[in-house]
Chain A
């Protein structure tokens, strides 16, 4: 199917329309359900066709308002963007179905679905922006939507988490703006392709590296990179589990996406400096994240810390800066989004059964809920990177790339982190699933009845689990897309040519 270039705006327009229409029906739960599911389905179909189209016809570019490249706002979609938009749309649909049951009626009437779709719009916008300032604007859109989702319901923990998240995000935005100012001051342009050309023509300008650090900082904060990740475990475990599942899947990945985009397209003039910083940060992120996870005793908190240590692997792929490593990083992002969202949604199921996710208060799940236990087991092994599940392949790619780049100490940290991940997953498994039941709960349902009654919560979990197993056993398609995307990233002249038209 031949799509026009302007159709890359659809991933922005569709969630916007969905959110706006939902806003008009804020009193009717049923109408909101229908609209938001329909919108999410449409987005998924669009994203699928966009990925196919980008793969067939190369990078797609739209100049908003017909202003030519360095002057107007440019939206660009290459394979990397298209993959991320597709995963966003898929996870969006899954969490949307999950939220139908998980979110209380009052919160839906307050506009849960409205802000949910605005959040998707912001995420998609950040994935397709071709202009640095435009990227900042999309970041702010997704941030404000995420503030509201985080604070929705006004629980004490939620409000406290939101304060920390908001202040750190604000500081990140301020740094980002300073970076924008420096880039504009030295190059006179904000179009990413144009700035990339400037950086290649003037590799000796010392201010470029200064600007690189000013972009590393805010994107690092948003991606939860060491040592700027403390806001994440403080805020992510607090809201409703659907919100946490969606945040954990996507928000930090927007930061990782921006880092990968900037440090492959623009800031490549001093790789020895910038990418070494990234490498060290990646190693510390992996290790300190997993140590944090080991020290926690609630499922939500353990999983939140795991987000951090997994971010380290993705940044490791960027820091090694070879096509293989980047392909590994992109593969990792996709599978991490799926697995992490799934793990949090399973945590939601556990909370629904036991009423809590604090490890020492649950137990005996394996005896009465073997199927839910199996779902958790698959996701947990996949997170730790045990073959044959999906987490194994990207880890394998990254370690192979690490050997090729002769960075042995990082590989060692990566492997130890994988082992510790497995260990902390075992901790959840032993406490929550294997151990004897703490107190008999009279109201506990039979598993089959539980799954039937909560089908809107179990269907997305099962779907993603099938995807995880599928990727594990049949990883070639995703591997192919990831390596195509990595090739495009390593060869930015394609991107520049397409955007600037010369």
Chain B
């Protein structure tokens, strides 16, 4: 599972970087979203994937033998929320670029 997820993370990064290099602003935003998700998945995989049990102490006080690490999940949650903030700001910024100086793609930034 970790093997396939690792390859998937790599593919997501590749797709994200391809979109970031695109000259269209909408695709840039999609690239930001995809790279954000790729980093989140990367942390998830780096924290090892454990199935079946959550990080809870059982009713009789014993600790389960193997359980999913809660820290990467907390990190991902935080990173995703921050990512949403940046994506929202990026969308608004590109909207302003469309409206105010009438810039429609990355190449026009140079003028």
A residues in contact (CB < 8 Å) with B? 133, 136-137, 140, 143-144, 147-148, 151, 154, 156, 159-160, 162-164, 166-167, 170-171, 173-174, 177-178, 180-182, 184-185, 190
List the 9 closest A-B pairs by CB distance, nearest first: A185-B46, A181-B46, A156-B101, A181-B43, A177-B39, A140-B82, A181-B42, A174-B35, A174-B39
Taking a contact as CB atoms closer than 8 A, the residue among A167, A181, A184, A190 that contacts B20 in the complex is A167
Contact of B42 with A144 in the complex, beta carbons under 8 Å? no
CA distance A167 to B75 in the complex (A): 22
**B contact face: mostly helix, strand, loop, or mixed:** helix
Contact of A178 with B96 in the complex, beta carbons under 8 Å? no
Contact of B28 with A133 in the complex, beta carbons under 8 Å? no
Contact of A181 with B93 in the complex, beta carbons under 8 Å? no
Q: How far is the CB of A242 from chain B (nearest CB, A)?
A: 21
Q: How far is the CB of A137 from chain B (nearest CB, A)?
A: 7
Nearest residue (CB) in A for B39 is A177
B residues in contact (CB < 8 Å) with A? 20, 28, 32, 35-36, 38-40, 42-43, 45-48, 71-72, 75, 78-79, 82, 85-86, 89-90, 93-94, 96-97, 100-101, 103, 109
Contact of A166 with B36 in the complex, beta carbons under 8 Å? no
What are the residues of chain B within 8 A of A154 when measuring CB–CB? 96, 100
What are the residues of chain A within 8 A of B47 when measuring CB–CB? 181, 184-185
What are the residues of chain B within 8 A of A184 when measuring CB–CB? 43, 46-47, 71-72, 75
Taking a contact as CB atoms closer than 8 A, the residue among B32, B42, B94 that contacts A170 in the complex is B32
Contact of B97 with A144 in the complex, beta carbons under 8 Å? no
Number of A-B contacts (CB under 8 A): 84
Q: How far is the CB of B20 from chain A (nearest CB, A)?
A: 7
Given the contacts A164-B109, A166-B93, A185-B47, A159 and B39 also touching, CB distance less than 8 Å: no
Taking a contact as CB atoms closer than 8 A, the residue among B39, B82, B101 that contacts A178 in the complex is B39
Nearest residue (CB) in B for A148 is B89
Q: List 21 A-B pairs, Cβ < 8 Å.
A: A133-B75, A133-B78, A137-B78, A140-B85, A144-B89, A148-B89, A151-B93, A159-B103, A160-B101, A162-B93, A166-B86, A167-B32, A170-B32, A170-B90, A174-B39, A180-B43, A181-B39, A181-B43, A184-B43, A184-B72, A185-B46
What are the residues of chain B within 8 A of A182 when measuring CB–CB? 46
Nearest residue (CB) in B for A185 is B46
Taking a contact as CB atoms closer than 8 A, the residue among B39, B82, B90, B101 that contacts A166 in the complex is B90
Taking a contact as CB atoms closer than 8 A, the residue among A147, A148, A160, A170 that contacts B109 in the complex is A160
